Amino acid sequence: MAESTPPKIRLLALVPRPLNRYANQRFRIEQWAPHLAREHGITIEFEPYESAQLAELLETPGRRGQKVLYATRDLVRRWRRRTRALTFDGCVVVHEASMLGGAWYERYLARHHVPFVYDFDDAIWMNRSDVSGDWTTRLWRSPNKVPEICRLASAVTVGNEYLASFVRRLNANVTIVRTSIDVDRYRVLPPRNGAAPFTIVWTGSRHTLPYLESIRPALERLGRRLPVRLRVVSNAAPSAYEHVSLDFVPWSPSIEVSALAEGDVGIMPLPDTPTARGKCGLKALQYMAVGRATVVSPVGINSEIVRDGENGLWAETTDQWVAKLEQLARDPSLRVRLAQAGRRTIESGYTAAHSARVFAGVVRGVVARTPRA
């Protein structure tokens, strides 16, 4: 007897920002959407909260009045379109449905029996004291309503065990779905073949630049020992370094793969803080995907993704950062071995297809068990 085809499912994805510019969306739900449609019969329609104008404003300092004006305007648009959710089989809420106000949209979904999956990959319920950010950054994170959304959600998907342990106190239906890599786009690119200077690459937003700043002493000490270039792929440049050549590359989705591959080594320093433990290792995954040796702080999921000496290296203290980076600078064969093992790690469990399959199971579960009027 032939197996019956699972019913098609239509989801509305309530995301914070316009598409193709926000890592928490791009390396999770946006990346999974094609696989969900093609392989699992789940189609997604995206509805960002932020307009293009607000998204641009939030990347610039100051102009608070304009930010509040545009955020309020976008709130009105979200309110007026809320009934659209009733026409879908379910919803996905990424971080929060509305920047302003409490969990009013999520309460609306629960009241009308619309099943929704709540997805996040950061410790968004905490105050972000270890990263930079202006008033608007704190505004959209709205940490006080995260527990309420967790309770209201039909299911919660998160990027690591640290986040899952927080959610379990609020909602028993939580699943770890790894932040992932599109391996068709992130291909292994040829190494630089030892071309001088030794190039270290870091990528991230202006809000995470303090993480890079934490190892400035190590990078500057290394620069006294050998020629070093630091390539920063970001939407903001750090201040100049002593004894290190700074190569700032303005981030855009079209150049991020090639920009990362033009380094010899990728780095992901993190402080061992509660918020940093919620990180899902994206930077490390990106470096490993393009075939570059990776050095990380063994904080949170980093110590799970990167196994010291096997597919990357760990560094905690300034002395360790200097020693590990110098070791890689002077040993090209070690860089190649770690890079190859890193790519195998990506292909073995951090692909978009793998994460989409896990997410599809969660979606089908909540849609099937939620009665709809």
The pLDDT tens digits for 112-166 are 999 999 999 999 998 654 444 445 555 555 557 999 999 999 999 999 999 999 9
Set out the domains of the chain in order of their start, with CATH numbers. Answer: 9-180+351-369 (3.40.50.2000), 198-349 (3.40.50.2000)
pTM value surpassing 0.95: no
Q: What is the pLDDT of residue 104?
A: 95
The pLDDT tens digits for 22-52 are 888 999 999 999 999 999 999 999 999 999 9
The pLDDT tens digits for 160-185 are 999 999 999 999 999 999 999 999 99
- Spatial separation of the C-alpha atoms in residues 11 and 44, rounded to whole Å: 5
- What is each CA distance from 1 to 39, 42, 78, in whole angstroms? 22, 25, 47
- Spatial separation of the C-alpha atoms in residues 366 and 77, rounded to whole Å: 27
- Spatial separation of the C-alpha atoms in residues 235 and 132, rounded to whole Å: 13
Q: What is the pLDDT of residue 189?
A: 86
Q: What is the pLDDT of residue 281?
A: 94
237: number of Cβ within 10 Å:
14
- Residue 181 bridge partners (DSSP): 351
- Spatial separation of the C-alpha atoms in residues 372 and 110, rounded to whole Å: 11
- Spatial separation of the C-alpha atoms in residues 50 and 136, rounded to whole Å: 12
Q: What is the pLDDT of residue 5?
A: 75
CB-count burial class (<10 Å; 0-12, 13-18, 19+) for 165: exposed
Pairing assessment for the beta strands 174-176 and 155-158 based on DSSP bridges: parallel
Closest to 4 measured CA to CA, from 41, 57, 45, 56? 41
Query: What is the three-class DSSP state of 175?
Result: strand
The DSSP output letter for 206 is: G
- Spatial separation of the C-alpha atoms in residues 97 and 13, rounded to whole Å: 9
- What is each CA distance from 241 to 189, 224, 247, 297, in whole angstroms? 28, 11, 11, 21
The DSSP output letter for 161 is: H
- Residue 247 bridge partners (DSSP): 231
Tokens of 45: 């329609």
- Spatial separation of the C-alpha atoms in residues 294 and 286, rounded to whole Å: 10
- Spatial separation of the C-alpha atoms in residues 372 and 89, rounded to whole Å: 9
List, for the chain, all residue ranges whose pLDDT scores fall below the cut of 70: 1-4, 127-143, 193-194, 370-373
Query: What is the three-class DSSP state of 284?
Result: helix
Q: What is the pLDDT of residue 129?
A: 47
Mean pLDDT (the chain) is 92
**Interacting residues of 282 by C-beta distance below 8 A, sequence separation 6+:** 23, 27, 179
